[in-house]
Amino acid sequence: MVSLAGLAPRAAVRAVAAELRTAGCPDADYDAQVLYTLAAGPGHDPRLDRSPLPAGTAARLEQLAARRAGREPLQYIAGEWDFLDFTLKVGPGVLCPRADTEVVCEAAVTLLRNMNTTAPRVLDLCAGTGCLGLGVKRFVPGARVTCVEKSPAAFAYLKENAACALASRSLTVEAVLADAMEYAAGCPADSVDLAVSNPPYLTAGEMVVLQPETAREPAMALAGGNDGLDFYRALANACRHSVRPGGWLVFEIGWRQQQAVEDIGIAAGWRSIAARRDYGGNPRVVWMQKPE
């Protein structure tokens, strides 16, 4: 890339977007605008800024653009990412929060509100950044939420997010470094009102054809076994012990997994199984109830 120093902000962003398109980055125009704000600082917008780029800002933007052209996830470059109406710390070693996952949180919140429980006990299993557990806490403040993550690298982000992401609202969740299945199975019987999870769900075949950005995310958070369903089977059985009668298990799913996950729930003894699509129209959530 030629030097961006002295270019008008709009021209600089166009140049960055062109480089990103050449590198095969999806959403190059959006990414270029985000990178400009990261380089120029909060409050800067290339559509509104008029002054030519100073040398320091130009150099920072060139460096950030090179990272993105190398297909490093935009979330990792930013170091934080919005989820619902709060911001999460994110970086190498943890799964990037995605907008599709917001509907999983919305489904869990709706189920909890319909339970009319003052202080529901909630588990976020395979928590990663903690986005699901924190989302529940944000909209059901009385919930007692524990986020469980096995990866030490991901847990570092979870621990910070658990303490800080909702601090402006004086809300926190508990972060636990543990295996999700072992933790759920080790809870007292019938002690949990709702368990929610975005487990690893990519098939072995999908793992070998990942987009470059996804390939930079931890395989532990992606690989769900040969058919992508290993964690659904394990959690459906583990949570049958800890979730109380009338309580719920809520899963994020891959877009082709709805029927398979519903069948796993039926086989494990769950009932009242239903699903919801994300805002792109793809099946994204399956929830199931433990019989009374």
Task: Tell me if 91 sits within 8 A of 118, measured CB to CB.
Answer: no
Pair 151, 212 in one domain: yes
Pair 86, 58 in one domain: no
Pair 188, 216 in one domain: yes
Pair 31, 64 in one domain: yes
Residue 157 included in any domain: yes
With cut-offs at 50, 70 and 90, classify the pLDDT of residue 3: confident
Task: Give just the sign of the alpha carbon dihedral 150, 156, 158, 162.
Answer: positive
Pair 139, 43 in one domain: no
Pair 123, 250 in one domain: yes
Question: Which of 118, 84, 100, 113 minimizes the C-alpha distance to 201?
Answer: 100
Residue 49 included in any domain: yes
Pair 193, 237 in one domain: yes
Pair 84, 143 in one domain: yes
Of the three residues 22, 43, 70, the one that is the final residue of a domain is: 70
**In this model, does residue 153 exceed pLDDT 80?**
yes
Pair 149, 206 in one domain: yes
pTM summary value: 0.96
CA distances from 229 to 222, 251, 256, 290 (A): 11, 11, 11, 20
DSSP 186-248: HSPTT-EEEEEE----B-HHHHTS--HHHHTS-GGGTB--TTS-HHHHHHHHHHHHHEEEEEE
* pLDDT (tens digit per residue) in 213-261: 999 999 999 999 999 999 999 999 999 999 999 999 999 999 999 999 9
- At residue 151, the pLDDT reads 98
Show the domain range for 136: 80-289
Of the three residues 70, 88, 103, the one that is the final residue of a domain is: 70
Of the three residues 70, 95, 111, the one that is the final residue of a domain is: 70
Residue 75 included in any domain: no
CATH number at residue 111: 3.40.50.150
* pLDDT (tens digit per residue) in 70-95: 999 999 999 999 999 999 999 999 99
Task: Give just the sign of the alpha carbon dihedral 111, 290, 124, 261.
Answer: negative
> Among all chains, which residue has been given the structure tokens 């070998």?
208
The token duo for 65 is 């653009």
Pair 156, 213 in one domain: yes
- Rounded CA separation 130/161 (Å): 7
Mean pLDDT to the nearest integer, 176-197: 97
Pair 105, 235 in one domain: yes
Residue 2 included in any domain: no
* pLDDT (tens digit per residue) in 90-118: 999 999 999 999 999 999 999 999 998 88
Q: How many helices (H) and strands (E) does the chain have?
A: 12, 9
- At residue 116, the pLDDT reads 83
39-96-102-21 Cα dihedral, nearest 10 degrees: 60
Taking residue 208's Cβ as centre, other Cβ atoms within 10 Å add up to 9
Number of domains the chain is built from: 2
